[in-house]
Amino acid sequence: MRKRPLLTIAVANFHTWLQSSRVLSMLGCMVFYCLMQAVVDHSNYALEGEKTLLFNVPELLFLKLYSSFFTMGSLLFLVMVSEIPLRYAFQNFMLVRTSRIKWTLAQVLHSAAAVCFAMGILCLCFSLFATFYASPTSGFSENALVELGIVTEDYTIIPLYIRRLGSPVLACLIAMLPMFFFWFSMLLLILFLGLWNKPLLGPVLFGGLLLFSSTFMVEALPSWIPYPTDFSSLKAIVSDYEGHEWSRLTAVLVGYGIFDGIMILLMCIRSRSMDTSCFSITS
C-alpha cells in the first residue's frame, strides 16, 4: 500500500466491482448481444449461395467499433458502472492510509480499467462468434471488388479513407479511440457527481442522453448545438466531414483529452473537502 497506493486501490476497486451481481449480469448480456450481432451480420453480409460472409473478422469487428457497438453497447456499459464510485467500507480505510488526491486518481485508474475491460469483452466475444462465418481472406475485401468493377465506390460499406489504411486491424484500433474516450468521459462525469454525493444523477443523465435520439426528434435541434452522441463513435464524428475525416477525428480526440483533464482536476479539488460518510456503509 505504501509503495504503490494508486495501483493497490485501483486493483481493489476493480476486483470488488467485478464481483458485483450487476456487472456479472451485464457481462452475460454483452455475450448474448455479441451473439445476436454475429447472427445479424450473417444475414446481412452473407454471399449469395455461400455460408461465409463477404468480410473477414477484423472487418466485421471494425463495422461494430465504427458505431461503438451502437447505443445498446453504451447502455450495457452504463449499467455496469452505475455504482461507481463504489460505496464499500474499505474505501474509508484507503482514504485514511493515503491522500485524497491519490485515492481520487486511483478511482480514475479504475475507471479506465473498467472501460478497457468492457471493450475487450465486446471485441473478444464478437470476434469469436464471427469466426464461424467470416471470410478467411485478409485485408479489405471491398478493395478487390472495386478494382474488378463488381461494385462502385458509392455502394461500399467500409469508407474509402479507412480502406486506404490497408489493414483492418489498424482500422479497428483507430475506431476504438472514440469509443474509449466517450465511455471514459462518461464514467469520469459519473464519478465526479458521485463525489458530490449524487451517485444516481450521472447514470440517469447519460441514460437519457443515449436514448434521446430514439425518443425525440433530434433533427429539430439547431445544427450548432453539439449533442453528446455526435462524439460517441468514429462514424458519428466524421459523418459530416467528408474529405476531412482525420483532422476532425484529431480535433475531437484533443477535445476529449482537455475535457478529461479538466474533470480529473476538478475531482482532485473536490476530494479535499468531500464528505466520506457515504463510504462507511458496507454494501
Is residue 163 within 8 A of residue 103, CB to CB? The reply is: no
Residue 247, pLDDT score: 92
d(CA 216, CA 223): 15
d(CA 187, CA 183): 6
What DSSP letter does each residue of 179-229 carry, written as one string?
HHHHHHHHHHHHHHHHHTT-TTHHHHHHHHHHHHHHHS-GGGS-TTS--GG
Residue 246, pLDDT score: 92
Q: For residue 199, is the peptide bond before it cis, meaning its omega torsion is within 30 degrees of 0? A: no
Confidence of residue 280 (pLDDT cuts 50, 70, 90): very low
d(CA 154, CA 55): 18
Which are the contacts of 79, defined by CB distance < 8 A and separation ≥ 6?
Answer: 22, 26, 203
Residue predicted with more confidence, 171 or 5: 171
251 has pLDDT over 90: yes
Residue 269, pLDDT score: 86
Is residue 104 within 8 A of residue 271, CB to CB? The reply is: yes
Candidate from 91-100, 136-145, 259-268 with smallest mean pLDDT: 91-100
Q: What is the mean pLDDT of residues 87-92?
A: 60
d(CA 112, CA 98): 21
SS3 label, residue 88: coil
Phi, psi at 273, each rounded to 5°: -125, 10
Confidence of residue 128 (pLDDT cuts 50, 70, 90): very high
Cell of 214: 430514439
- List strand residue ranges (DSSP E) for the chain, in order: none
Against a cut of 0.75, is the pTM above it?
yes
Confidence of residue 49 (pLDDT cuts 50, 70, 90): very low
pLDDT digits (tens, 9 = 90+) for 111-122: 899 999 999 999
Length of the chain in terms of residues written: 283
Which are the contacts of 33, defined by CB distance < 8 A and separation ≥ 6?
Answer: 69, 72, 73, 76, 122
Is the backbone of residue 149 left (phi > 0), alpha (psi -120 to 50) or beta? left
Nearest to 156 by CA among 247, 165, 147: 147
